[in-house]
Structure 1
Amino acid sequence: MEIWINPQCSKCHSALSLLDAANADYTVRHYLDEPPTAEELTAVLARLGLEPWDITRHGEPVADELGLAGWPRDAESRPRWIEALAAHPALIQRPIITADDGTATVARTPEAVRAALGPPDTRP
Structure 2
Amino acid sequence: MEIWINPACSKCRTALRALEDAGVEHTVRRYLEDPPSAAELAAVVERLGLEPWDVARAAEAREAGIDLPRTPEARADWLAALAANPRAIQRPIVTADDGTTLVARDEEAVARVVALGRQEA
Q: 2:64 and 2:22 mapped to 1: Cα distance?
A: 40
Q: Deviations 1:77-109 (Å, cap 9, x if unpaired)?
A: 101110000000000000000111111000001
1:66 aligns to what? 65
1:22 aligns to what? 22
One-letter amino acid matched to 1:66: G
Q: 1:16 and 1:83 mapped to 2: Cα distance?
A: 27
One-letter amino acid matched to 1:99: A
Equivalent position SS for 2:16: helix
2:54 aligns to what? 54
Q: Deviations 1:52-94 (Å, cap 9, x if unpaired)?
A: 010001112x5245152xx211110101110000000000000
2:81 aligns to what? 84
Could you tell me how far 1:22 is from its partner in structure 2?
1.2
2:41 aligns to what? 41
Could you tell me how far 1:110 is from its partner in structure 2?
1.9
Could you tell me how far 1:122 is from its partner in structure 2?
2.8
Q: 1:67 to 1:32 in 2, by over 3 A?
A: closer
Gaps of 5+ in 1: none
Contact (CA 8 Å) 1:18, 1:110: kept in 2 or not? no
Q: 1:23 to 1:8 in 2, by over 3 A?
A: same
